[in-house]
Amino acid sequence: MGLEVDDDDVEELVEEHSKELSTEELLELHKEENETLKQSLTSEESGEDEDKEESRIIPAKDLKDVFFCWSKLSKLAEDYHPDVGSVEKAISVFNDNVMSYFWKCSRLLRYLALIDVTKAVFIEN
């Protein structure tokens, strides 16, 4: 490949990493990392484009409704359906294939809220 590294290259790299970043630079770096994390958490293996992925972030109120309704439905099915084995299997499959997405969205929202609080504290100080 022809990549050569000499002492000047190493010294330049060390100098760049020894510089202290300004508050603005730190916030920009933090923002870029958050965007990368957000994209990785909201992306799915289906290969949909980023515009569609961005629109898939669900409001916290709607996530709360999803969890409440699923909890209520699964409890009623366990309590009243005569085929306990089928209910347990169906609940497990639904948890794995559907609810896991909503749990991932919930973790993302909690993480983003934590970042907002951290950023606010960081800026105040």
In a domain, 17, yes or no: no
Least confident of 40-49, 53-62, 98-107, 113-122: 40-49
To the question of pTM greater than 0.85 for the whole model, the response is: no
In a domain, 2, yes or no: no
In a domain, 10, yes or no: no
Between 52 and 120, residue with greater pLDDT: 120
pLDDT digits (tens, 9 = 90+) for 45-98: 445 554 454 556 688 899 999 999 999 999 999 999 999 999 999 999 999 999
Q: What is the rounded CA–CA span in Å between residue 67 and residue 81?
A: 21
**Number of domains making up the chain:** 1
In a domain, 13, yes or no: no
The domain containing residue 34 runs over which residues?
Answer: 22-124
In a domain, 16, yes or no: no
In a domain, 3, yes or no: no
| Residue 71 half-sphere exposure toward CB, CA atoms < 13 A | 6
Nearest CA among 32, 33, 103, 45 for reference residue 70: 103
Q: Please tell me the predicted confidence (pLDDT) of residue 113.
A: 75
In a domain, 36, yes or no: yes
Please provide the average confidence, as pLDDT, over all residues in the chain. 76
| Average pLDDT for 7-21 | 66
Element (DSSP H or E) covering residue 86: helix 84-94
Q: At what angle do helices 100-124 and 60-80 cross, to 10 degrees?
A: 150
In a domain, 78, yes or no: yes
Q: Please tell me the predicted confidence (pLDDT) of residue 46.
A: 47
